[in-house]
Amino acid sequence: METVNIKINGVAVSAPKGSTILEAARLAHIDIPTLCFLKEINEIGACRICVVEVKGARSLVASCVYPVNEGMEVWTNTPKVVDSRKKTLQLILSNHNKRCLSCVRSGNCELQTLSKELGVDNESLYAGEMQHFTIDDSAAHMIRDNSKCILCRRCTAVCEQVQSVGVIGANERGFRTNISSPFGMGLGETSCVSCGQCIAVCPTGALAEKDAVGEVLAALADPDKHVVVQTAPSVRAALGEGFGLPIGTNVEGKMASALRRLGFAKVFDTDFAADLTIIEEANELLDRVSKGGTLPLITSCSPGWVKYCEHYFPDMIDNLSTCKSPQQMFGAMLKTYYAEKNHIDPKKIVSVSVMPCTAKKFEIGRDHQSAAGVPDVDIAITTRELVRMIERTGINFLELPDEEFDNPLGESTGASVIFGVSGGVMEAALRTAVWKLTGENPDSPIEFSEVRGMQGIKEASYDVAGLTVNVAVASGLKNAHDLLTKIKNGEANYQFVEIMGCPGGCINGGGQPIVDSKTRNFVDYRSLRAKALYDEDAGKVLRKSHDNPNIKKLYDEYLGTPGGHKAHETLHTKYVKRKIQ
């Protein structure tokens, strides 16, 4: 690799050719502050917070886009640099809602952190006219408060470039510029897929999920309600970050302990329903293959992806698996099987889910998601909301003992826990599909490494019982768009496709703890979270969904055969074609 030699603050640095000053500074253990920059996503040098001095340059340069060259001398902390950053920050704050104490991002806001670091207080030197905005709460999953927007354009870049949706952008000009949807539409009127990736990259409190913590606490306080909670696989790999633990710490035991102390009647694991999903989905795949059904079969676990398909690829709806997502399957079993066994009126059950995904807030309101005549899931909260609920109720999370989930809907296999990672659903399904095709249940191999990893698109072929199974995995909707376009154009032939709406899968869901831009740009946080789930899978005694004894019992006692009449009416759903708006 060709390198160039430069000096940063008098320190000699050898950096790869083509690096920016920002990247080279990291090699010298120097952090240059940024607000708009997201590596490979929003490299526009717009906010001017990252300016530095370069010997020979006529003015300060934006380090996030300025390339290094041989012999360059850079200074990142001169009075001129610091003064420029402070003035820029003061100008940003002059048109910013500074009610920080009540902001959902207080204490975890990049603007707030930068103000503290640069010694800039709330009283701006540039007081004057401020814009006034109406809060947009038209979407099921989030709110937009443009009084807190700093026009960094991270959200628009992610929406357009990463998710290929593009329903938000810069409108008006000059001082009146604002980020919103076309023609003054509310976000809920657009083709937004509720993925929440815009929230995840926002440096301030301008974007936030709709908070349902109060609704959950009210249900818990109602003596006439039986309140039950389920937690998604990837929540355990990220929840600890909300309490200062390192990225990738698995806090499954403390999470179950905290939920029990919050007052839930039962604390169950969505992983159980992930195992159930695999049984139904593998059966559906083999049924389509043997009977000439619509192929490739495409997974339906990610509600953001499903809504994207309905809007942007409506002609491929028949390819979607009819299986409900694990969240909805769990809710369905809770209000049918569990309710019957425990003689509880489903109308008295409040089904709460803790999800890494803001799109789950939209999914619970979809049609055909009410197996017992009432919604399968009543309230969906994000990982971030659970952090706030634990803090609000005074539970000392770090001191909690490890506890287990309740049964019978809490037992799961290793196959189910990897649902939280891109490629995990595919790998779990292959473990069961191989068994169904061969009639054997080998101890190994059960790991399909070809579908693992953080690549946007992964492909593999497997020869099983004389049948060649071509599979593909995509995460992030831009990658989904590219993969589906290849399929439509006849450039690829697959039998089974997994698509996750968020890059990397649920571990990087729009409802997970906020990862600041410095970490996003320079730390592989997605792989760290993924490792926690793969490690749990590797440590499980049971690693294939069809080996889960409580899944077997569920079919014996209640559902009958996989894909049968009762299973279909309880665990499967329908989709609709939607317009692009």
d(Cα 279, Cα 226) in Å, to the nearest integer?
29
Do 273 and 182 share a structural domain? Answer: no
Contact 411, 268 (CB under 8 A): no
Number of structural domains in the chain: 3
* Long-range residue pairs from 177-182, CB within 8 A, at least 24 positions apart, any chain: 177/151, 178/131, 178/133, 178/146, 178/149, 178/151, 179/144, 179/146, 179/149, 179/151, 179/153, 179/155, 179/206, 180/136, 180/144, 180/146
Please provide the DSSP assignment of 488-553 as one string.
Answer: HTTS---SEEEEESSTTSGGG-TTSPP--HHHHHH--HHHHHHHHHHHHHHH-S--SGGG-HHHHH
SS (H, E, C) 402-436: CCCCCCCCCCCCHHHHHHHCCCHHHHHHHHHHHHH
Do 158 and 279 share a structural domain? Answer: no
pLDDT at 550: 96
Do 418 and 335 share a structural domain? Answer: yes
Sheet with 457-464, side-by-side order of all strands: 297-298, 496-500, 467-475, 457-464
Per the domain annotation, does 83 fall within a domain?
Answer: no
Per the domain annotation, does 43 fall within a domain?
Answer: yes
Q: Does 408 sit behind a cis peptide bond, omega within 30 degrees of 0 on the bond before it?
A: yes
Per the domain annotation, does 458 fall within a domain?
Answer: yes
Last residue of a domain, one of 31, 56, 77: 77
Note down pLDDT in tens along the chain; length 581 residues: 899 999 999 999 999 999 999 999 999 999 999 999 999 999 999 999 999 999 999 999 999 999 999 999 999 999 999 999 999 999 999 999 999 999 999 999 999 999 999 999 866 678 778 889 999 999 999 999 999 999 999 999 999 999 999 999 999 999 999 999 999 899 999 999 999 999 999 999 999 999 999 999 999 999 999 999 999 999 999 999 999 999 999 999 999 999 999 999 999 999 999 999 999 999 999 999 989 999 999 999 999 999 999 999 999 999 999 999 999 999 999 999 999 999 999 999 999 999 999 999 999 999 999 999 999 999 999 999 999 999 999 999 999 999 999 999 999 999 999 999 999 999 999 999 888 877 777 665 678 999 999 999 999 999 887 888 999 999 999 999 999 999 999 999 999 999 999 999 999 999 999 999 999 999 999 999 999 999 999 999 999 999 999 999 999 999 999 999 999 999 999 999 999 98
Last residue of a domain, one of 183, 209, 235: 209
Per the domain annotation, does 94 fall within a domain?
Answer: no
> Distance of alpha carbon 222 from its chain centroid, rounded?
31
| Domain at 42, CATH number | 3.10.20.740
511 DSSP β-pair partners: none
Measured at the CA of 202, the angle between CA 201 and CA 205, to 5 degrees, comes to 145
Instruction: Find, among 161, 242, 172, 171, the residue nearest to 201 by Cα.
Output: 161
Which amino acid makes up residue 164?
A: S
d(Cα 501, Cα 195) in Å, to the nearest integer?
7
Do 514 and 487 share a structural domain? Answer: yes
d(Cα 347, Cα 344) in Å, to the nearest integer?
8
CB atoms within 10 A of CB 248: 20
d(Cα 559, Cα 539) in Å, to the nearest integer?
30
Instruction: Find, among 526, 316, 329, 518, the residue nearest to 421 by Cα.
Output: 526
* Long-range residue pairs from 459-463, CB within 8 A, at least 24 positions apart, any chain: 459/492, 459/494, 462/430, 462/434
Per the domain annotation, does 97 fall within a domain?
Answer: no
d(Cα 429, Cα 419) in Å, to the nearest integer?
10
Q: Is 466 helix (H, G, I), strand (E, B) or coil?
A: coil
SS (H, E, C) 354-388: EECCCHHHHHCCCCCCCCCCCCCCCEEEEHHHHHH
- Tell me the two tokens of residue 219: 């249900």
Do 300 and 195 share a structural domain? Answer: no
Give the number of C-alpha atoms closer than 13 A to the C-alpha of residue 445, restricted to the C-beta side.
7
Per the domain annotation, does 576 fall within a domain?
Answer: no
Last residue of a domain, one of 209, 244, 279: 209
Do 543 and 507 share a structural domain? Answer: yes
d(Cα 498, Cα 298) in Å, to the nearest integer?
6
Do 427 and 348 share a structural domain? Answer: yes
Measured at the CA of 98, the angle between CA 95 and CA 104, to 5 degrees, comes to 125
Which amino acid makes up residue 352?
A: V
Per the domain annotation, does 98 fall within a domain?
Answer: no
Do 563 and 529 share a structural domain? Answer: yes
Which amino acid makes up residue 207?
A: L
| Domain at 173, CATH number | 3.30.70.20
| Domain at 500, CATH number | 3.40.50.1780
Do 228 and 349 share a structural domain? Answer: yes
Instruction: Find, among 295, 314, 236, 241, the residue nearest to 269 by Cα.
Output: 236
> String of b and e for 458-467 (b: at least 16 CB within 10 Å)?
bbbebeeeee
Angstrom distances, CA of residue 514 to CA of 60, 282, 377: 31, 34, 25
Per the domain annotation, does 439 fall within a domain?
Answer: yes
Do 461 and 380 share a structural domain? Answer: yes
Do 140 and 52 share a structural domain? Answer: no
Which range marks the domain in which residue 493 is found? 214-571
Do 247 and 194 share a structural domain? Answer: no
Strands 3-8 and 73-75: parallel
The pTM assigned to this predicted structure is 0.96
